[in-house]
Amino acid sequence: MLKSQSLDVEQVRKDFPILKRKIHGKRLVYLDNAATTQKPRSVIRSMVDFYSKHNANPHRGVHQLSIESTEAFDAGRKKVVSFINASAFEEIVYTRGATESLNLVRYAWGSRHIKKGDLIVLTIMEHHSNIVPWQLLAREVGARIEYVGVTPDGSLRFEELEALMGQSPALVAFTQSSNVLGTINDAQKICSMGRRAGATTVVDAAQSVPHMQVDVQKIGCDFLAFSGHKMLGPTGIGVLYGRKEILAEMEPFLSGGDMIKEVHISGARWNDLPYKFEAGTQNVEGAVGLGAAIDYLNSLGMDKVRSHEEQLAAYALEQMGSVPGITVYGPKDVSLRGGVVSFNLGDIHPHDLASILDEEGVAIRSGMHCAQPLLESMGLSATSRASFYVYNSYDDVDALMGALSKARRIFCL
C-alpha cells in the first residue's frame, strides 16, 4: 500500500518506464538509488529530441544546428546555476561526474596550491573519489592527510575536526551526506570552520544535491561536486561548482579544442569561464538530460523530496528495528540522515543477501560501497544498503522486509 506521503508516489511511478519491469516474475523494487537513479520519460525524451532535431557541436559553428546545440548546452547550465543557487553562470563547469569534478580540483587547483608539509583534512566517511585524489596529491608533493572519525551513531567527531582546524589546514574536503551511513553533515558549519582556518573547502555533494535543497552561497564552499545520474539524469554528466575568482586563476585541467581562444606556435590563450575547463566535444545530450532532470525535481519540489525520504527512512528504521539479528548503521534521527539505510543481517554475507533479495525483485547494493576506510574503522568488511528516492514508498519497504524474512528462513536465523 502506498499510503499518504509528501509525494504522490503512484503518479510519480508512472513517469518511469523501467518500473514496469518484472524481475524473476516479481515487481521491480529498486532500492539502489545511492548508486544510480532511474530516469523519467521527460529526461529520456529530451535526449531523444536533441539527437533527433538539434545534434551538432556547440560553440563551433554558425549554422542553425550548431546554434541550437549551443543554446541547449548552456540552457542546461543555467538550470544548474539556479538549482544550487550559484552566483554566476561562469561558476558551473560540466564534467563526466563527481569523480571527475574532484579530480579537476586536485589537478588544476591542488597541484599549484598544496605544498610539502601542508595538511589536508578529510573525514573517514568519504567515498573513495574524495580520498584517492588527495592521497595521490599528498604523495606527490609531500603533504599529509588527517581523517576526522565518526561516533558510534555515525556522526562526525567535531572535536577532532576542531582540533585539526587549529593546525591551519590547506584543504578541507568532506561529503555533505554519507553514501553508507546516510549521515548529513553540516556543510555550512564545516565550511565556516575551514574559512576561519584559512583552508580551501571542497564538498562532495553527490548524495545531497539530488535529495535536498543545496545552496552553495549559503554553504560558503569553494568547490562542490555532484553527478547527474544520481538525480534522475543521464550518466556521463556531472558538475563542478567553483567560486568564480578561484576558477579564474586556475590552469586548465584538460587541453585541446574549445578550451582556448587562440593557439599560436609560441603558445595559447585560454577561453573564458567556464569553457576553459571543458576541452573537446562536450556531452551536450547529457547536459540536456540533466536540465530535464532538474525540471522534473523542481516540479516535485525539493522540500517534498526531502520530506518524502525522511518518512521512508523513518518507516524503514522502524520496521528493521523488529527484525531479530539485524544491525543498522547510521544516525537514528531521520532529520540527520538521508534516505540511505545500511545494515547487516546475522552472519549472512551481504552479497548472499543481495542475491536472495534479487530473486524477490528487490534491488539493493552490497559490499563496501566505495568507502572501505569507513567500513574498516567500523570493523566491517561489507554491508547491505537500501537507498530510497522519489518513486519509492512504504510498499517498497514492505517488499524489502518480506525478502529479508525469506533470507532469515533460508539461513535458519
Q: Supply the DSSP string of 295-360, one letter for each residue.
A: HHHHHH-HHHHHHHHHHHHHHHHHHHTTSTTEEEES-S-GGGB-SEEEEEETT--HHHHHHHHHHT
Q: Name the pLDDT band for 412 (thresholds 50, 70, 90).
A: confident
Domain boundaries, the chain: 9-30+301-410, 45-298
pLDDT at 128 over 50: yes
Q: Name the pLDDT band for 386 (thresholds 50, 70, 90).
A: very high
pLDDT at 212 over 50: yes
**Full-model pTM:** 0.97
For 210, residues 6+ apart whose C-beta sits below 8 A from its C-beta are 37, 226, 230, 231, 232, 297, 389
The packing angle between helices 394-410 and 302-320, to 10°, is 30
For 48, residues 6+ apart whose C-beta sits below 8 A from its C-beta are none
Determine the pLDDT at residue 1. Answer: 46
Determine the pLDDT at residue 265. Answer: 95
> What topology does CATH give the domain 9-30+301-410?
Aspartate Aminotransferase, domain 1 (3.90.1150)
Rounded to an integer, the average pLDDT of 49-66 is: 94
pLDDT at 276 over 50: yes
Determine the pLDDT at residue 61. Answer: 85
Contact 223, 202 (CB under 8 A): yes
Domain 45-298 in this protein, CATH class: alpha beta
CA distance 310 to 70: 39
370 is catalytic: yes
pLDDT at 376 over 60: yes
Cα 209 to its chain centre, rounded Å, is 7
Question: If you average pLDDT over every residue of the chain, what do you get?
Answer: 96
Query: For the chain, what percent of residues have pLDDT higher than 90?
Result: 97
Rounded to an integer, the average pLDDT of 370-376 is: 98
Residue with the bigger pLDDT between 174 and 257: it is: 174
Report pLDDT digits (tens) over 98-117.
999 999 999 999 999 999 99
Query: For the chain, what percent of residues have pLDDT higher than 70?
Result: 99
pLDDT at 307 over 70: yes
Q: Name the pLDDT band for 3 (thresholds 50, 70, 90).
A: low
